[in-house]
Structure formats: structure tokens, C-alpha cells
Amino acid sequence: MDIHVILVSSIVLSAFGFGVVHGQVLSCNQTPYPVTCHYFIEASKLPASNEMSGLSFRDTTLRVTLEQAYEAYRVIYSMDMSSVEMRAKVAWGDCLELYEDNVHQLNQTIFTSSTLDKPPTIDDVQTYLSAAIANDEICKNGFMDLNLASHLESFPSVLTNFSELLINALAINKASPIPSSPPVSRSPSIGNRRLLANGFPSWVSMTERKLLQSTTSATTADLVVAMDGTGDYKTISEAINASKKLRSGTKRFIIYVKKGIYNENVVVTNKMKNLMLIGDGIDATVVTSNKNVQDGSTTYRSATFGVSGDGFIAKGITFENTAGPQKHQAVAFRSGSDLSVFYECSFKGYQDTLYVYSKRQFYKECDIYGTIDFIFGDAAVVFQSCGIYARKPMSNQANTITAQARSDPNENTGIVIHNSIIDAAPDLKPVQGSVRTFLGRPWHQYSRSVVVKSAIGGLVDPAGWAPWDGDFGINTLYYGEYMNTGPGADTSHRVKWPGYHLITSPAEAGKFSVQDFLAGDAWIPATGVPFTAGL
């Protein structure tokens, strides 16, 4: 397996790695892990070129972290797994993929004219670092999914070093004085970043916008998938693999998937950027599978459809996992695609239906069905005008809609549910009084979920939110509700946790605007601001 990495010389900063942040001297002593910071910055013996002599503390830290990302990947790749059981090899395979992606994410934080058109913004870098933290956590979770936590003891210390450097980089980058600016525009004709009248983010080009709004499948597709043989390929996976040779660069590549039930597990790697899948509509074009943790998969690998390539767009498709509640974690769709859009799609499963894994994502007029933690992950994600439906779980189980996985206070991630419907699915409605359903619970310590201007049905428990394990995270999470309606929106008996917020002011709600919450207004303008006109 080859891997491309930019290893840039790191400069040795005097006085134990002092740099300038916010116009004042900032040292390793001010980072979350000062010992690790000192060691790796001082240990870098590569010469400092004139070009790099003015690099800030932030830039040096990013380069050192990149070097350790590559070292961590190299060590995992070199591990001898020949004598371990198959389940451990499955979890190790996840780690290998995730640490290779860490190198990719860290590469994106460093600007060179040969790899990027424009320098990444502070918000972009925070997104890439947050994604790397998610990768780091999920590598470990794979072993725990399969009850193999003891295998983590054999993992080398280089992984701990990388984790600590990553957390330091996240803190330093967040404190950077460099102003945010828009990401590279996907369409030269769009100069501003305002939400247009048709309700799509500005980075969705006019051509893409027309395709998403089209009521017919007669689109100009690069490839057609049809089970009956009337297209170019009979499976989605075949078409995606073919696109590697047929496309030029990273220009938008459109695959039209005709009506049918496609029983396959689809993977879109981080090298497959700007793919667009258009189906014939919810429950017409269906991608289905039944992989699950109970039968030996990790949660990450159980996804019926998993996408890592940035700029992914899907319209008019149902993604489902039919493993059922008795199989526990079974993902229908996993997305780690930055600046991605899902429009008029449906996601059906039970536990862990929709894995909003990482980066910036937008779901509009979509339906999500599940039982336990059925919208979960560590993305910065907004659900706008969606239907969120809790299904009937197994006996003695409760439903939890969200399980957000922010593990560091400096991550720019969270789940925002805006102008949506939260209700019982048909199988739950007759018995919803006997099943407790909660808006969410804290998967990780700094879990962040907000529900704004949504209609909450009577299925939601008066407490609103559920604990994960005792008082874990209740002081550090951020759960908020603002201007919701419906019988389940009554907040008089909500949890009394320090991290729970009944938002009453537009100013507080404004913290979840695209400017403040979702990486400056380059993400999805106004989607998370309930008082903005037109929402």
C-alpha cells in the first residue's frame, strides 16, 4: 500500500519551542500536553530554511504532528498480525485505513503550491484535525466493539504521542489570530457565500443545484447503474470503481442509479472526490446490506454505504441496514465527506443507523429511522427540514436519537437539528408510551447536540436527554434546545445537568450559526440560526 506524505522540515524554536499566538508569546507549557510538545519540537533536527524561519508556533506544531501521523501509520502497517485471530485483524484493518487517512488530513493542514490551490483556512484546519481525532478514537473503538480491548495494550507508544500532538495542534490552531475565510469555491461564478433562495450552500454549483432540484432522472450522467442491464453497470460498486479511470481530475462525476434494490456494501475512498449519486427517489432506489457487530464486523466497517471522499452528494436514494435490532450496531450510511450534501434521501436501520463520522455535512429533506444512537458520530452536521423517526427497539431498550462524539473541547463538531420533525415511526406509535425515547446521550465527554425550531412528538421523554454512564460528560457536554414545538418540547422536566441549556436568547442561539459553529459562513449559511429570515 503506497501513501503520499509531505514531510516538511520542522524548525527548532528557541527557548523550548516558543511561538507567537494572539500577538503574545505562547510556549509548549501552555498546551494540553507540554512534555510531548517540548520533546518533539526539540527533537526535530532537520535544518530550518530561510523560507521556514518565520513559521509560527502553530505551523511548526502542524508539521511535527504530520511527521508523527506518518510514523504512526508506518508502525501500524508494520505490525505482525499473522498470529492473531480474525476479529483482531478486522479491527487492525480499520486502524490501518484510519491512520492512513490521518496522514491525508494532516497533509491538508499544510499549504504547498503543489498540493493545494489556496492555503487552508483556520476553520478548514480545525475540521481536518477534528477528523483525525475521530479516526484516532474509532481505531480504538473497533477493538472494543469486538471485545478485544486487551489488544490495545500491544499498540506502540507512538500512537499516544500522535494523539497528544494532535490535541495540542487543535488547541493552538483554535487560538490562531488568522481570520477565517471561505474554502476554495467549487464554482467560479459564486463569489459570495450566502444561502441562495433555493436553500443550498454556496459551494454547491449552479449545475449541481439544478440536478438536485430536478424532478426527472433524465440527467446528464457520466455513468448509469441499472439492475436490469439497461445501464453501463449493474452494481454501484462497479460504477464507482470504473469512475477512477473515466474521470479527469476531481471534476464532479455523476452516477445515475436507476430504480432497484442494490444489495451491496459500497465504499467511496478519500481519493474519490466530488462524486454525485442520483437515484429515482426514496424507496425506489435502495442500497441495502446487513453487516453488523454481532456477526463480527466493527461498527465502522458495518456500513452499507461508506464515503470518505470530499464533496459527495446524494439525492433520491434510500440507504438501509436490515440486520435488525437484535444485531446491535449496524450502520446504514457512514460519511466522513467534507462539504457534502444529502437531499431527499432516507436512512433506515436500528442501532447506529446514520454515522455522521466527521467533517462538514448537510442533510436536507431527508428521513432517518432507528432506535439506539441512530444519528451518531463526530461531524459538524446540520439536519434541515428532515424527518427523524424512532422505531420500536427490543424489549427493555430505550431509544436515543443522537450520540455525538466530540472528545475534545476544541473540536468544531456537533449535531444541529433544525426545522425538523421528531416523531415515532409506524412500528413504535402503538406502543410509544411503553418505550422511553431521548433526544440524545453523550458518547464522548464534550458531546454537543442542539435542537432548534423543530416539532418534537410526545414520544420524547420529559427528561429529554439520557446519561451514557452515570455522570459521565454531564458537566462538559453541550445540549441545547431553542424554540421547539409539540408535546415533546415541554422543557419543564428536562435534566438538570450543568451541560444542558434551555436557550432563550437569539444571541445564544446565534452561537450555532454557520459563522460561529460550522466553520465561518463557508459551511451552510444560516442553517443553524433559527431566527434568520427564510428558515
Concatenating the DSSP letter of every residue in 172-202 gives HHHT--SPP-PPPPS-TT--S-PPPTT---T
Residue 155's pLDDT is 75
Instruction: State the DSSP code for 29.
Output: G
Phi then psi for 368, rounded to 5 degrees? -130, 130
CB 222 within 8 A of CB 246: yes
Q: What is the pLDDT of residues 361-393, one digit of tens each?
A: 989 899 999 999 999 999 999 898 999 999 999
Residue ranges, comma separated, of all CATH 2.160.20.10 domains in the chain are 204-334, 371-534
> What's the chain's length in residues?
535
Sheet containing 500-502: order of strands: 223-225, 253-257, 275-278, 313-315, 340-343, 360-364, 380-384, 414-418, 448-452, 478-482, 500-502
Judge if pTM exceeds 0.85. Answer: yes
Angle 401-402-403 (CA atoms, 0-180°, nearest 5)?
A: 135
For residues 23 and 34, what is the distance between their CA atoms, to the nearest angstrom? Answer: 20
Q: Is 199 left (phi over 0), alpha (psi -120 to 50) or beta?
A: left
For residue 243, give the nearest of 219, 221, 214, 226 by alpha carbon: 221
Instruction: Tell me the average pLDDT of the chain.
Output: 83
Q: Which three cell numbers stand for residue 172?
A: 493552538
Residue ranges, comma separated, of all CATH 1.20.140.40 domains in the chain are 29-46+54-175
Number of neighbours of residue 231 by Cβ within 10 angstroms: 18
- The more confidently predicted of residues 343 and 514 is 343
State the pLDDT confidence band at 197, using cuts at 50, 70 and 90: very low
For residue 122, give the nearest of 522, 406, 407 by alpha carbon: 522
Q: What is the pLDDT of residues 45-60, one digit of tens each?
A: 543 333 333 357 888 8
For residues 422 and 389, what is the distance between their CA atoms, to the nearest angstrom? Answer: 6
For residues 390 and 368, what is the distance between their CA atoms, to the nearest angstrom? Answer: 8
Burial degree of 119 (CB within 10 A; 0-12, 13-18, 19+) = middle
Tell the CATH topology of 29-46+54-175. Answer: Butyryl-CoA Dehydrogenase, subunit A; domain 3 (1.20.140)
Q: Looking at domain 204-334, which CATH architecture does it have?
A: 3 Solenoid (2.160)
Q: Per mean pLDDT, which range of 74-78, 83-87, 153-157, 171-175 is the poorest?
A: 153-157
State the pLDDT confidence band at 514, using cuts at 50, 70 and 90: very low
Instruction: State the DSSP code for 438.
Output: E
Residue owning grid cell 419543564: 492
Helix axes 158-174 and 122-145, enclosed angle (nearest 10): 150
Q: Rounded to a whole number, what is the largest CA-CA distance in the chain?
A: 72
For residues 20 and 393, what is the distance between their CA atoms, to the nearest angstrom? Answer: 53
| Residue 10 pLDDT > 50 | no
For residues 284 and 291, what is the distance between their CA atoms, to the nearest angstrom? Answer: 22
In DSSP notation, 283-300 reads: TTEEEEE---TTTT--TG
Q: What is the pLDDT of residues 211-263, one digit of tens each?
A: 666 665 555 899 999 999 999 999 999 999 999 888 877 788 999 999 999 99
Q: Which residues contact 35 (CB under 8 A, 6 or more apart)?
A: none
Cα first-last separation, the chain: 47
For residues 391 and 287, what is the distance between their CA atoms, to the nearest angstrom? Answer: 20
Number of neighbours of residue 431 by Cβ within 10 angstroms: 10
For residues 232 and 39, what is the distance between their CA atoms, to the nearest angstrom? Answer: 55
Q: What is the pLDDT of residues 401-422, one digit of tens each?
A: 999 999 999 999 999 999 999 9
Angle 135-335-115 (CA atoms, 0-180°, nearest 5)?
A: 70
For residue 422, give the nearest of 378, 478, 448, 383 by alpha carbon: 383
| Residue 209 pLDDT > 70 | no
Q: What is the dihedral of CA 343, 348, 353, 354, to 10 degrees?
A: 0
For residue 315, give the nearest of 211, 240, 385 by alpha carbon: 211
Helix (H, G, I), strand (E, B) or coil at 157: coil
| Residue 517 pLDDT > 90 | no
Which of 5-19, 119-133, 461-475, 502-516: highest mean pLDDT? 461-475
| Residue 301 pLDDT > 90 | yes
User: Which helix (H) or strand (E) segment is 71 a member of?
Assistant: helix 57-78
Of the residues 94, 124, 310, 373, which is catalytic?
373
| Residue 436 pLDDT > 60 | yes
For residues 31 and 17, what is the distance between their CA atoms, to the nearest angstrom? Answer: 11
Residue 188's pLDDT is 29
Residue 406's pLDDT is 97
State the pLDDT confidence band at 187, using cuts at 50, 70 and 90: very low
Q: What is the dihedral of CA 223, 228, 229, 230, to 10 degrees?
A: -60
Active site residue 222: no
Residue 169's pLDDT is 93
Sign (positive or negative) of CA dihedral 143, 148, 149, 152 = negative
Residue 252's pLDDT is 86
Residue 518's pLDDT is 54
CB 19 within 8 A of CB 56: yes
Return the amino acid letter for 259.
Answer: K
For residues 452 and 378, what is the distance between their CA atoms, to the nearest angstrom? Answer: 19
CATH number belonging to domain 371-534: 2.160.20.10
Share of the chain above pLDDT 90, in %: 60
For residues 101 and 107, what is the distance between their CA atoms, to the nearest angstrom? Answer: 10
